[in-house]
Structure 1
C-alpha cells in the first residue's frame, strides 16, 4: 500500500497567523483512494528546514506533498530547497511561462509579467502540472521509486490541483485497493460507556475493517473503514457489521450514514419537504452558515436573521419588551418568543433561535458569559434548552452552540419519524 506524508511550509503557519487547511483537505482526498497519511510536518520558510523535513518524510512515505513557499517573493524558498534536495537546477519552462502570461493578461495584470517571470522557473526533471487558478505551477518529481509533489500554498489553488489533477494521476500510477467508509452518528452516549458497550462487537470485527471514535461536541461519530480488493464485497461486509451493531446502540443513533450534522439535517428536511429559518443572536449567523454550506439547501432554508440588538428582537420578531425587562434578554422566554417570531416571519415549518453571551465580556444586562438559551420549533412543537460554556472562547462558543442546535433538531426529527 502506498503511503504519503505532508509538509506545510510557511512562517505564517508556525506563528499562528494562518491556519493550515491544506493538510486536512489533501489527507481526506488521499484517504478516498486508499492512501493513508503517515505524518504531517510544518516547517519555516528556510531551505535547510525544508530539506530536512523532506528527508524525514521520504524515510516514512512513498509520496511527499509540500504546500507553500513557491511564490514570487524572496522569502519563498521551496523551489530552491527542491533543487538542492534533488541535485537539480531551476530552468525557465516555456509552456509554464506562456500559461503565466495568458493568466496575467486575463486578469489585466500583464504589467506584472516580468517580476513574476520566476514563477515559470521549475526543476529540469519535474513533470509540470499547470495551475489554472494561480501563477505558481505544481511540480511532480519521481526518483528512486518515490514521488514528490510541490504545490502552492493558497487553498483555492490547492483544492482543484489535488482533486482534479493529482488524485487521478496517483490513482493511475498506484495499484490502489478500494476503500469504503461509513459514519454512524451516536448521541447521548458518553464515549467511554459507548466503547465498553460495543466492545465485544468491536473485537469481533474482521481485520479489513477498522473503527474510529470521532467526538464532536456531544455527538460521537463511529467511522467504519473497510479496505480490500472488491468494493461491492466491502460494502456488503460493512452492512452486515452495522446490522450486528444495531442492537447495542439503537435508540442513540441519529444517522446510520453521514458525517456533517448539516448534511444529515438537509437530507431529512428534503425527504420530508420541510422548511427552516433561523433567528440568531449570540451565534451571529453560524447556524445559517452551516445550513447554507450544503448544496441544494435553497429548497429547505428560507432565510435567517441576526437580531443582535434587543430592540431588533422586539421590532422584527415581536419579542415582548416586558419579557426582556422581567427575564432579561438571555432567557428561555426570550428564546421561545424569538423562534415563534421567526417561524411567523419566514412562514417555515421549523425555526431555531439563540440568545446568550459569547464573551469575553458580559452584556448590558450583566448576564453570565457562556450562558445561552436556544429554542427549536417544529410546527406546533417547541423545545428550549440551556447551555453554560464559560470555558470556550468566542469562536468556539458560536461553533459549538450552532452544532448542538442542529444536532438537537435532528434528534427531534428522528424521534418524530420513529
Structure 2
C-alpha cells in the first residue's frame, strides 16, 4: 500500500507542468488611478501567491481601455508565468475588459449556459430574479476561457492560457476577489503546477538607522545562501529584516532561516526585539500574555489608534482592559483627573500633562501598564499655540513611568497618528524586554 502511494505521488508530480515562479498583477479601473479607491486586492493576491511559492514581480494599474489592456497583457506575459487581472468586468455589453481579452487571445465572446444558470441561481437565492436579464451579459465570456464561478457576485472569473502561461480575470470587488483566490485559484495552481515552497521570517530591529544597520550586517548578508533573499522594511523607527527562502523542502527552509537568524545575534543582538512576528502590536501582545500584564490607554492626539492596534489581535481581551480618548482638554481633567493647575502652568501639550494622563488612566482601569499621548496632529496649531507635529507620550509600567517627546512637523495628520502610535508600542516592547 505504501509503495502504491509513492508511485501515485510520483506519477502525479511527473505530469505537472513546469514550475511556475513569477506572477504579474494588473488592476483595471479609473477609480484606482484617480485615488478614489485604494487597491487592496493586489496586496492580498501577492500574499496568497507568496504562500505557495509564486513571486509577484510587477503590478500594473491601468485604465479600462481596450488597447491599454491588450498592451499591458503583452508586457505581463513577457515577464511572468501567471497574470491576474482585477476590475473592469461589468454587466453591460460594452465591457472593454472582456473585449480586450477576446482580441488578445484571438477569441470571440459568447453566452456560456453553465455560467448563466449559475447567475440565475445566484439571483434567485437573493430574491433578485427580476434583474436577471439586466445582468445577462455577465454570462457572456470568451469561448476559449475556463470559467471559475463567482459565489459572491455576478461577474465570473475567466482563465485563459497561452504557451503554457495562464491569465485569470477577476472582478474588482474585494469580497468577491478573496474567495475566488483562496478557494478556487490557489488550489488550482497548487494542483496543476510543481511549486516551490516560499518561507519568510521577520527580524525586528530597533535603535539602529537603516543605513548603519546595512553596514553592520553587510558581511552576514553577503554570505547568505543563494536561495535566501533579504529586504529592509522601515516602519517608524523600527527596521524589519525580511528573510525569504525558496526551495522544495519546507522543513529544510525553516531550519535554514533559523540558522541564519541566529548568526545575527552576535552582531546586533542587543537591538533585536522579535524574530517571528511581523506587526508590533502582535509582538507586544505575545509579551503581555507571557508576562501576564494588563494594559490601558489614554489618548488625545492619537485619537484611539493605540487602542485599535492593541485590540486588533485575537485574544487581546486577556490584557487590554480599556481606553479613553480624552480629546477635549476638559475631559482630561474630568475623566483622567489631570490637574487644571498643571494644564494652566505647562499647557495641555506638555510632558507634565502626559504623565498625569498616564497616572489617571492606570488609576481608572487598574492596569499594570498605561499609555498616554498628547500632541498636535495638525493641520493647524494646538489650542495652546504649540506647533504641529509636537507630541509627548508616557509609558507607565507598574510604578515606573517614562515620558518621551517627538517633533514630527513633516508628517501629515494620518501619518503622524500612525507613526506616533507605532513608536509608543515599539518603545513599550523595548522596555518590557529590557532593550
TM-score band, normalised by the shorter chain? over 0.9
Q: Which runs of 4+ in 1 moved over 3 A?
A: 73-76, 101-111
Counterpart CA distance in 2 for 1:133 and 1:345 is: 46
Deviations 1:190-241 (A, max 9, x none): 1111111111111111112221111111111111111122211222222221
Q: Is the 8 A contact 2:92 2:135 kept in 1?
A: no
**Deviations for 1:74-126, whole angstroms, at most 9, x for unmatched residues?**
77521221122112222333333333334334444333322222222222222
Identify which range, 187-196 or 120-129, moves more after superposition. 120-129
Pick closer, same or farther for the CA change 1:320–1:111 going to 2, 3 Å. farther
Which among 160, 183, 192 is matched to residue 173 of structure 1? Answer: 192
User: Would you say the 8 A contact 2:116–2:136 is kept in 1?
Assistant: yes
1:44 aligns with 2:53: no
What is residue 118 of structure 1 aligned with on the other side? 137
Cα displacement string for residues 282-333 of structure 1 (whole angstroms, at most 9, x for unaligned residues): 1111122222222222222222221111111111111111111111111111
Matches of 1:141 and 1:413, distance apart in 2: 54
Using the TM superposition, give the Cα deviation of residue 34 of structure 1 relative to its aligned residue in structure 2, in angstroms. Answer: 1.1
Equivalent residue, structure 1, for 2:318:
299
Whether 1:149 and 2:171 are equivalent positions in the alignment is no
Deviation at 1:366, TM superposition (A): 1.4
Among candidates 215, 231, 235, match of residue 234 of structure 2: 215
Q: Which residue of structure 2 lines up, in the alignment, with residue 387 of structure 1?
A: 406
**In the alignment, which residue of structure 2 is the partner of 1:128?**
147
The residue that corresponds to 1:312 in the other structure is: 331
Larger mean Cα displacement after TM superposition, 55-64 or 109-118: 109-118
Aligned 1:150-299 pairs, distance under 5 A = 150-299=169-318
Change (3 A) 1:187 1:140: same
Report which of the two structures shows the higher radius of gyration computed on alpha carbons.
Answer: 2
Q: How many residues align?
A: 416
Uncovered stretches (5+) of structure 1, i.e. residues with no partner: none
Distance 2:246 2:312 in 1: 30
Query: For 2:289 and 2:95, how far apart are their aligned partners in 1?
Result: 48
Residue in 2 that maps onto 1:55: 74
Contact 2:391 2:407 in 1 (8 A): yes
Q: Among 79, 85, 99, which residue is 2:104 paired with?
A: 85
In structure 2, the CA distance between the partners of 1:94 and 1:302, relative to structure 1 (3 Å rule), is farther
Structure 2 Cα separation of the partners of residues 310 and 276 of structure 1? 23
8 Å CA contact 2:355–2:403 kept in 1: the answer is: yes
TM-score, with length taken from structure 1: 0.95
Deviates more, 1:400-409 or 1:285-294: 285-294
The structure-2 alpha-carbon separation of the partners of 1:193 and 1:107, relative to structure 1 and needing over 3 Å to count, comes to same
User: Which residue number in structure 2 is paired with residue 101 of structure 1?
Assistant: 120
CA distance in 2, matches of 1:340, 1:216: 29
Aligned residues: CA RMSD: 1.7
CA contact (8 A) 1:126 1:140 kept: yes
Distance 2:245 2:420 in 1: 33
Who is 1:329 aligned against?
348
The 1:104/1:309 distance shift into structure 2, 3 A limit, reads farther
Q: Kindly indicate whether the alpha-carbon contact (under 8 Å) linking 2:346 and 2:352 is maintained by their aligned counterparts in 1.
A: yes
1:67 alignment partner in structure 2: 86
Residue-by-residue CA offset, 1:357-384 (whole Å, 9 max, x unaligned): 1111112211110111111122222121
Q: Which stretch of the first structure deviates more once superposed, 53-62 or 349-358?
A: 349-358
